[in-house]
Structure 1
Amino acid sequence: MSSETGSHGTGSDENVPEDENEKLPGEREPQGHGEVGVPDEDPFADPGLPPHEHRVQDIDERAAKRSERTVAMLFTVSMLATVGFIASYVAFPIDKIVYIWPLGHVSALNLSLGLTLGLALFCIGAGAVHWARTLMSDVEIADERHPIEAEPEVRQKVLADFRQGAKESQLGRRKLVRHTMFGALTLVPLSGVVLLRDLGPLPEDKMRHTAWKKGKLLINENTDEPLKPDDIVVGSLAFAKPEGLDQHDHDFNVEIAKAALMLVRIEPDDIKDKRTLDWSHEGILAYSKICTHVGCPVSLYEQQTHHVLCPCHQSTFDLSDGARVLFGPAGHPLPQLKISVNKDGYLEAQGDFAEPVGPAFWERG
C-alpha cells in the first residue's frame, strides 16, 4: 500500500545509504584529535601482556642448579656473618680503638658489629631477590579487580593460587636453598639478643650475696670504728657496714645498698622468735637495713614495741619476732645476719645474710 511510505511524502529509499558507513547527504564528518575523519582511540585500552620469554634457568637445569648454589652461598654467608657479629661482641672490648683508613680512629666493636650485621642482612635480601628472579616462576598473570568482600569462590581461588605459588617457588624441590634460608633467618635474630648485653652485665648470683663474710668486723657507720657489744644499749638502734668498705671506693654505693646493717638490742626474754637468739649475741640482733618492698632504708624504730618502720610506704617489721612483716606492702621479713664476738671483743659477722636482701625478685626463694 502506498500509505506505508509515511508522512514524509515519498516511499522511495533512494536517500538511504546501502553501507552503514556511507554518509547521508548533509551529514558532517566525525571530529577526531588529528585529521578530519580519523576516529578517536581509547586511551585506556588494555595493551595486554607481552609474549612470555623463558629464562635460561627454565630450560637449562644446570643453570638452575648454579642459581640454587648462588642463593645457598648468600644465605650461608649471612649465617657466617651473624656468627661473626656475635664473636665480635665477645672478642672486642667496648673501649678498643683502631685506625682504619680512610675512617680514621674508630671503635673496633662498633665497626665490626656494623660490618657483620650489615653483611648478614644484605646477603639474606640478595639471596631472596636472586631466588625470586631466577628460580621462582616469572609468568605474569592478569587478574580482574573484585569487591573487597570475598566470595567463597574467590577464597577458594586465593587458596589455589597460594598453593600454586608455593609449588612454583620450588621451595620443596630446592632443598639446599630452603635449608640455608631457614638457617640464615634463624641465626640473624640472635644479633638482637646479643645486643641485650648493653643493658648491663649479667647479675649471676650477685643479688644473693653482699660484702658480708665470716670474720668481717661490724663498723659503725658514723664513727668508722669497730663496734663492741657495750656500744649497743637496750632500746637503741645502731647502723653498721662491713669492714674494709670505704665510702671513697668507686663501688661503695653499690655495696652499701646491699650490705647496710642495723643493730638492735632486746632483752632475751622479750624476743618472741627464739630461733633468732642463735644468730645474736646477748640480745643484739643484726638485720638488713634494706626494706624488702622497694629497697628504702628502714630506720624508724619504736623501742617499746620493737617495731621498725620503713618511711617510704610504711611497711612495719617486728624485730623481736624475726623481723616479720606486720603491716604494709613488704613481702618478706628483713634478712638476719649471724654475729658473734671475736677474741678482741669486737662484733663480727659469721657469714652473709640468711637470704637475699632488698626487694623480692623472680628468682628469690
Structure 2
Amino acid sequence: MMGSRFRAALTLAAGGLMAAGCGAGAAEPSGGGESAPSAPHGRVEGAQEAAEPQRRLVLADTSAGSLHTVDPATEKAAGVGKAGEAAGAEVAATDGRFAYFSSGGAATVLDSGAWTVDHGDHVHYYTSEPAVLGEVAAGGGLRAAADTAVSALASEAGIRILDRAALEDGEVARTAAGLDGATALPYGRRLVVVGEDGAVRVFGRSGESASAGIAEDCPDPRGQAVTRRGAVVGCSDGALVVTGEGASLEAEKIPYPDEGAGPVRSFHHRPQAPVLAGAAGGDGVWVLDVGAGEWSLLDAGPAAAVSAAGEQMPVLVLGEDGRLSAYDSATGERTARNRLMDAETAGASPAPALTIDTGRAYVNDPAADAVYEVDYNDDLRLARTFELEFSPDLMVETGW
C-alpha cells in the first residue's frame, strides 16, 4: 500500500478558545471618539475560519499514553502530548469537536481544534491548535453527544454533563450534576435521560426537571445517536426515536423485526445522517433507517467495525477477517470488498475503528502503524495510507 510517511512531532499545543457566536459585535469606541469596525460575522477569537469542513483524526497510542492528530487535508500528523488516562485507554468517543479517551476510571478530554457551527441557513468551519484540557470521571462503554450548551458523557460510571462554553475556553467543568441514568442525549434544548430501569426522563440543560417524562420506555439502553430526524436510543426491544423541541418532545418505538438476531450494543453513522448501523452479535449487522422507521438485517457475518454513510448510501462493514465490505442497505447486496488487514489485527482488542464523513472512510491499523483512507463511493478504493510513527490504537474523527 503506497502512502505518505508522517513524522509525529510531539509538541504540546496550548491555547484557550472563546465561545462561538454569530453576532457581529461592535468594538469599544477608539480614543478619537469613532467606532472601530465591527468584527466579521461569525468570528471566533483565536480560531481560523475556513470555507469548507475541516476534519481531523484524533488518535491514542495507548501503550505510550500519547495523543495525536492527523489532518487529512495537509497529511500532517502532530503529537498533542501525553495524558495519564490515555495510557491503557480502552474507549474513544467524540462529540464533534472534543475527543474523550477513557481507561475505565477517568477520561482524558482533548480539544481537537476542528469544529463546525451550524446556524441552519449557513455554516461556519473553524480550526485552532489542539490541546489536552484535563480529565473527567468516566467508566467503560463511554459515549458522547453535545449541543451548543452542553456535552453529555455516558458510561458505566453514570452520566457527566460538561459545560460547553467552559470547554471552549479550555476548562473541564461539570454542570447539571446529580443526574442518574444509563444514557443522556442533548436534544431539542433538553437533556433526554434514560435510566437503567428503562424510564425516559426529560431535563433542562442545567439539570432541572423539564417535564413528566416520555411514556415510552427503553429497556436495557445502550446504543445512542443524534440525527437530522431525531435522537435515537437503542433498547432491547427496538429503537426509541425522540423528536420535537423544548416542551414538545415526543417519542416512538421502532421494534425489531422477528429476525432472531440480538440487539445492537452501539450505533455508528456519518454525523447527523439518519441511517445507523450496529453489529447484531455474530449474526450480521442491523441497519436502522430512522426516517423510514425500519430495521433491516445484513447477512454480513461477524463484524469488527461497522458504520453507515446515509440515506441511499452504502453501509460499511469491516469483517473479523480484515476485509472491508460495502452493502446496499436497501437490498442487502454486497457491492464492493477490499482487504485492509489480516484477521489477527481485525480481531484485536480494542477493535479497529471505522469512521465515515461526506466523502471518505477511515480505518486504523495499530499493527501496521497506519490509518487507511477509503473512497467508499469508488468501490472501496484505497485512496491513501497514512503511515505513522506511533501505534494508532484508538481513533475518532472530529470537525463536524
Q: With the length of structure 2 as denominator, give the TM-score of the two structures.
A: 0.21
Q: With the length of structure 1 as denominator, give the TM-score of the two structures.
A: 0.23
Relative to total residues, which structure has the larger helix share, 1 or 2? 1
Relative to total residues, which structure has the larger strand share, 1 or 2? 2
